[in-house]
Amino acid sequence: MPDRIPRRADELLHEFVDRAHELVRNQTHMDSLLAAVVSMAEDLSLQSVLERVAQSAAELLGARYAAIGVLGEGGMLENFITVGIEVDQVELIGDVPTGHGVLGQLITDPRPLRLHDLHDHPMSVGFPANHPPMKTFLGVPIRVRDTVFGNLYLTEKERGADFTGEDEDLAVALAAAAGVAIQNARLYEDSRSRQRWLEAGAEASAALIAEDVPSHEGDLDLVAEHALRASDSVLAVIARREGDRLRVRTAVGALALAAREDLRCPKALQDADQERRAVILSDPEEVFGPGAGEKLGHVMAVPVGQRSPLSGRDWGNRLLLLARQAGAGAFSGTELASAAAFGSHVGLALDLNLAHRQREQDLISVDRDRIAQDLHDLVIQRLFAAGLSAQSLRRYTADPGAQTRITRLTEELDESIRELRSTIYSLHGHEAREEGLSQALLDAVHETVRDAPIIPRVNVEGRLEELPPALAAHLVAVAREAVSNAVRHSGAGTVAVALTVAEDEVELVVEDDGKGFADPARTSGLANMEQRAASVGGTSRVDSAPGSGTRVIWRAPLPR
C-alpha cells in the first residue's frame, strides 16, 4: 500500500510534465501561426504574399519543401511558388506543374489530403527528371468562404515522420489566413492595374488630341509605348488584319519586328477582330511563329477603336498585341477589361487625329488644285506665247549668232514648260507615302539604342527604292535584331550599320566594338536572322572573337 502512493505520484507528475510540454508546444505553434499571419500583411504584392505563405508553412510544420499553387480562370494552376528547391534545380526541372496527378486531386476535390507516400496514391503520375525525391505529403485548399484561390502543398516532414492531424489543423488555419491575404493582394493588384491603365489611356489620349506627335506612325508608337508600360509586358505591337495575316504597323519591346512585316492571325484573333473584343492567347507561337515561346508568354489582343469609315480608310482594323515575358503570370480578367477600355479610348483619339489630318489634307489638296490651275491657265500659256514670239523673230534677222540665241531661248522656255507640267501632275497626284527604307532603318537603330550608352552610325548606299517591300522589311528586322544583341550582350561603345544595294544583291553589315565571343550557343535571334536570309535565298554570317567585337553580315540576292 505505501508503494502505490509514490508510484501514483510519479504517474501524475509525468502526466503533468507531458501536458505542460503539450501546452508549450501548442503555445509555440500559436505564436508561429500568429507570426506567419502578421508577416502576410507586411506586403500587398501577390508574389510576396505567396512566398511568405509558403515559407511560413514550411517552418511552422517542419516540412523540407512547401509550395503554393494559384488557380487560374480555367481551373488549372497558373502560378506555382516553391520553397526548399534551389533556383538552379527549378530550372533543371523545367515546366512548373499545371494541376495533374495528386496536385489535381485537391483542385477537383478541395479538401485536406494527408499521404504517407505520394507514390501510393491512385492519381500519382510520378516526378519529372531532376525533381528531388518526395514521400510524405500534406495538401490543403486555400479559400475564402466558397471561393478557392489555390492550394498549399507540403512534403517531406522532418525526420521522415508523417504529417499528423495536428499538422493538418495548423495548415488549414494558415491556409484560411492566407486566403484572406491573397484576396487582399489580388484586390490591391487589380486596383493598381486599373489605375495604370486609366492613367495610360488618359495620358495617351491627351497627347494624341494635343497633337504632340506629327504623324500616323508617331501616334501608333505613342499608344504602343503607353500600353507596354501599363500592362507590364515586354512586347507591344499594333497591327492591321489582312485576311489571315497581321500587317505590323509598329512594334515596341523584346522582338525585332519591322513595320509592314506579316504575322500570323489565328482564328481566335480573326473572331476577336471581327467582334471587336479583347482576347488572351496562351501560346505566343500562334502569332509570332516558332521560337517565340523562348522569350514570350501569354499574349493579349485588344481592338483599338471601333469600326468606322475613317479607320477603314487609312488605318485598317487595328489590333494591339501585348506579350508578357516567358514564365511570367498570365493576364487577369481585370487587365483584359481595362485594356479593352484603353483600346476604345485611344482608338477614338486616333480617329479624331485622323479626321483632323484628313481635313487638313483636303484643304491642302484644294490649294494644290488651285495653284495647278493657275500655273496651267496663266503661267504656261504666257510662256508658250513668249516662245512663239521668240520663234517669230527668226524672220527679222539672218545673223547666225542671233539665230543660235533664239534657239537656246526657245529650248529653255520649252524646258520650263515641261517642268511646270511635271509640277502640276505632282500636285494633282500627291498622296501620303509611307516612310522610306532609309528612314525606317534609322528609326529602328535609334529606337533600339535609345536607353543604352552606345553611339550608332548608319550608312546607306545604292538605290533603296528598287528593293521589294518584303525584302526591305527583312532588312529592318535583321538590323533591329543585330543592334539589339549588341546593346544587350556586347558592352560596346559604338555600333555601325551599313546597308549597300548593288546591282544583283543587297548587303547589311552590323558591327560593334564590344567584347565579342567564341563559339556562341545558337540563340533564337541568330536563328531568326538565318531563317530570314534562307527565305529570300540569302546568307547570314556572324564573325566574332573575344576582345575584337562582333560583325553580322546578311546578304540577299535581288530579283531580276
Segment 432-470, tens digit of pLDDT: 333 467 777 887 888 778 767 887 888 888 777 778 888
The domain boundary, picked from 402, 428, 454, lies at: 428
H runs (alpha helix) in 41-126: 46-61, 87-93, 101-108
Residues 347 and 365 in one domain: no
Residue 291, in any domain of the structure: yes
State the distance between the two ends of the chain, measured CA to CA, in whole angstroms. 120
The domain boundary, picked from 392, 410, 428, lies at: 428
- Whether residue 309 is predicted with pLDDT greater than 60 in this model: the reply is no
Strand, helix or coil for residue 455: strand
Instruction: Provide the number of structural domains found in the chain.
Output: 4
**Which is more confidently placed, 462 or 6?**
462
How far apart CA 157 and CA 172 sit, in angstroms, is: 16
What are the cell numbers at 526?
541568330
Residues 312 and 401 in one domain: no
**Which is more confidently placed, 388 or 349?**
349
Cβ-based neighbours of 351, under 8 Å, separated by 6 or more: 305, 308, 310, 311
Residue 132, in any domain of the structure: yes
Residues 313 and 244 in one domain: yes
271 - beta bridge partners? none
Residues 381 and 516 in one domain: no
What are the cell numbers at 234?
515586354
CATH number of the CATH domain containing 485: 3.30.565.10
For cell 514521400, what's the residue? 135
For cell 477614338, what's the residue? 348
- Whether residue 347 is predicted with pLDDT greater than 60 in this model: the reply is yes
Residues 407 and 446 in one domain: no
Residues 122 and 94 in one domain: yes
CATH number of the CATH domain containing 130: 3.30.450.40
Residue 6, in any domain of the structure: no
Q: What are 494-516's pLDDT values in tens digits?
A: 899 999 888 888 999 999 988 88
Residue 13, in any domain of the structure: no
Residues 175 and 223 in one domain: no
Residues 40 and 100 in one domain: yes
Write out the residue range of the structural domain in which residue 72 sits: 36-189
Residue 160, in any domain of the structure: yes
302 - beta bridge partners? 320
> What pLDDT shows up at residue 552?
93
- Whether residue 375 is predicted with pLDDT greater than 70 in this model: the reply is no
Residues 41 and 175 in one domain: yes
pTM: 0.54
> Mean pLDDT over residues 186-215, rounded?
79
**pLDDT classification of 404: cutoffs 50, 70, 90:** confident
**Which is more confidently placed, 12 or 51?**
51
The domain boundary, picked from 428, 445, 467, lies at: 428
Most confidently modeled of 63-77, 138-152, 354-368, 474-488?
474-488
Residues 377 and 337 in one domain: no
Mean pLDDT of the chain: 76
> Mean pLDDT over residues 48-59, rounded?
78
Residue 26, in any domain of the structure: no
Residue 11, in any domain of the structure: no
Residues 49 and 150 in one domain: yes
Residue 488, in any domain of the structure: yes
Residues 422 and 531 in one domain: no
